Amino acid sequence: MVIEVREKIKTNIRRNLDQKYFKRLLGIIARKPVLYAYGSTFSSISDRYLNIFSIRSIRDTYNGKNPVGFGSLFLPYELFYATGITPFLPEVMAGFTAGLGIADQTLKKASSSWYSQDLCTFHRSASGAIEMDLFPDPSFMVCTNLACDAAQKSFYHYAATYGIEKNYCLIDVPYNNNPRSIEYLAGQLKRLAENIEGAAGKKIDMDRFARIIELSNEFRKWALKVNDIRKKLLDYPPNFNGLNFILPFHGLIGTEEAVKLYKNVYLELSGLLSRQKEDPDADKNPPKRILWMHLKPYYKNEIFETIDSGNCKVVFEEINNVYWPRLDPKRPFESLALKMLSHPLTGKASDRTAALGRMADDYNIDGAVLFTHWGCRQSNGSARIIKDYFKERGIPVLVLDGDCVDKSNSAAGQIKTRLQGYMEILNSK
């Protein structure tokens, strides 16, 4: 019954691909009693809060109360919240197009508008959605060259489509993490704040900024606690998937909602860990422990059910790594610059493998799966390096080709065979 309601909502969205319909639907679903009733249809506390806060944050981008800024994934959104701007992340929303089952239409639109088939489908699906006028109207557009090359070009094109090229900013993250880079990047973030002020007519409030930095630190604390619990936890809530937390992990940092979400995830997981510790059978036939690298398909798929049914478990995901140090509220721009520079995808591929190596140690992994999303040069380019790195440590790596957004570009049967073959190797050890 519960799943039927959710499927009905998706079906209605597919039939009414129109921004006005989205606004009306979000206006109804995001009302507190309805939203909490909807949230209660999820069996775990983690999923409940994840869905409630995600819907609410998306509603805020459509309701016209605050100016909306589009941003790419790795930006410090604390800065948006400090200026009273509601961030909208087209790449994450492209993942939602897959989840809602509308990516075939957004991708088709992008294809008929001359977007190359070679372009990553996160950017292509977002392009199609913009061409179809499904996203809210932005006041400005910000992108960073951290990790992703396609984003810079795609976001500029998005800005051109909305006629706001003058309000497009590119944050250039230097290759090396050193004091000079911090100064250079902090200077850009200060200018970005000024540009946002100009484009959106919102003044940055430094007291508010300091509070948001504190909230960001609070989020970081709870995210670390969640990650710590996961080092031992095997008994997860049903349908829990760490790869679903990409919106709060990036786009909600600096909000009270993100803190509340991660605090609740921690409480739920710590309860399960206590139960696991008391279970005398918990250590019998333990599953093989897998580190998941990069992202996953966001359309309906059987990947994680296949893994669970093969006596294996994804115990951690690369994207949930808390890679940055505590932020200093007295030096917010410099702290956010350091946060961006600390990302393992900034700079050399060996920075990424070093970070993966720490995760491998922390989570005591038996294997690692790198999902190579079609068109994602920044991640796929390291596939060989990652495979060789783990090989030296005696950890087999499965490089799994697929597509996070376009299900027609992923062969479910081939993925299943590769996964099962890989798990047979892990289980034979």
Using DSSP, state whether 171 is helix, strand or coil: strand
Give me 386's structure tokens: 């990652």
Is residue 421 near other proteins by the rule CB under 8 A? yes
Span of 34-42, 224-232, 367-375, 413-421 interacting with other proteins by CB under 8 A: 413-421
Q: Per-residue DSSP letters for 358-418? A: HHHHHTT-SEEEEEEETT-HHHHTTHHHHHHHHHHTT--EEEEEE-SS-GGGS-HHHHHHH
**Residue 55 in contact with residue 28, Cβ under 8 Å?**
no
CA distance 90 to 406: 16
Q: Decide whether 25 or 412 has the Cβ nearer to other proteins.
A: 412
Which of the ranges 74-82, 119-127, 146-154, 415-423 carries the binding residues for other proteins, by CB under 8 A? Answer: 415-423
Which lies closer to other proteins via its Cβ, residue 326 or residue 384? Answer: 384
Strands 86-88 and 397-402: unpaired
Phi, psi of 254 (to 5 degrees): 105, 0
Task: Kindly report the three-state secondary structure assignment for every residue of 303-319.
Answer: HHHHHHHCCEEEEEEHH
428 binds other proteins (CB under 8 A): yes
Q: Which x/- pattern over 158-197 shows residues binding other proteins (rule: CB under 8 A)? A: ----------------------------------------
Helix (H) or strand (E) holding 56: helix 45-62
Residue 34 has which token pair?
């309805």
Using the structure block, give the residue that is written with the tokens 């798929």.
Answer: 301
282 touches other proteins (CB under 8 A): no
Minimum Å distance from CB 307 to other proteins? 14
Quick one: which of 202, 288, 343, 418 contacts other proteins (CB under 8 A)? 418
Please state the closest distance from residue 288 (CB atom) to other proteins, in A.
14
Among 174, 347, 357, 396, which residue interacts with other proteins (rule: CB under 8 A)?
A: 396
Binding flag, residue 413, other proteins (CB under 8 A): yes
Q: Does 424 bind other proteins (CB under 8 A)?
A: yes
d(CA 75, CA 81): 12
Q: Does 414 bind other proteins (CB under 8 A)?
A: yes
Write the CB contacts of 16 (distance below 8 Å, at least 6 apart in sequence): none
Closest contact distance (angstroms) between CB of 400 and other proteins is: 11
193-to-78, 79, 82, 189, 399 alpha-carbon distances in Å:
11, 7, 9, 6, 40
Q: Which is nearer to other proteins, 47 or 366 (CB)?
A: 366
Instruction: Read off the amino acid at residue 316.
Output: F
CB 360 within 8 A of CB 397: no
Q: Are 57 and 93 in contact (CB under 8 A)?
A: no
Q: Which one of the spans 10-18, 54-62, 325-333, 411-419 is the region binding other proteins (CB under 8 A)? A: 411-419
User: Does position 301 bind other proteins by CB under 8 A?
Assistant: no
For position 381 contacting other proteins by CB under 8 A, the verdict is no
Nearer Cβ to other proteins (177/410): 410
Regarding 401 and contact with other proteins (CB under 8 A), the answer is yes
Contact status: 417 vs other proteins (CB under 8 A): yes
Specify the stretch interacting with other proteins by CB under 8 A; choose among 226-234, 240-248, 331-339, 410-418: 410-418
Residue (14 or 391) nearer to other proteins, CB? 391
Of 202 and 418, the one with the shorter C-beta distance to other proteins is 418
Q: Does 308 bind other proteins (CB under 8 A)?
A: no
Q: Identify which of 351, 303, 295 has the alpha carbon closest to the alpha carbon of residue 95.
A: 295
Instruction: Tell me the C-alpha distance between 347 and 358, whole Å.
Output: 17
Could you say which of 5, 34, 37, 411 contacts other proteins (CB under 8 A)? 411
Q: For other proteins, give the closer residue by CB, 88 or 390.
A: 390
The site for other proteins, by CB under 8 A, has a size of 13
Measured from the CB atom, the residue of 57 and 372 that comes closer to other proteins is 372
> For 136, what's the count of Cα atoms within 13 Å in the CB-facing half-sphere?
28
Beta bridge partners of 171: 144
Distance CA 5, CA 8 (A): 5
Nearer Cβ to other proteins (40/414): 414
Residues 45-104 that bind other proteins (CB under 8 A): none
The residues that touch other proteins, with contacts defined as CB under 8 A, are: 396, 401, 411, 413-414, 417-418, 420-422, 424-425, 428
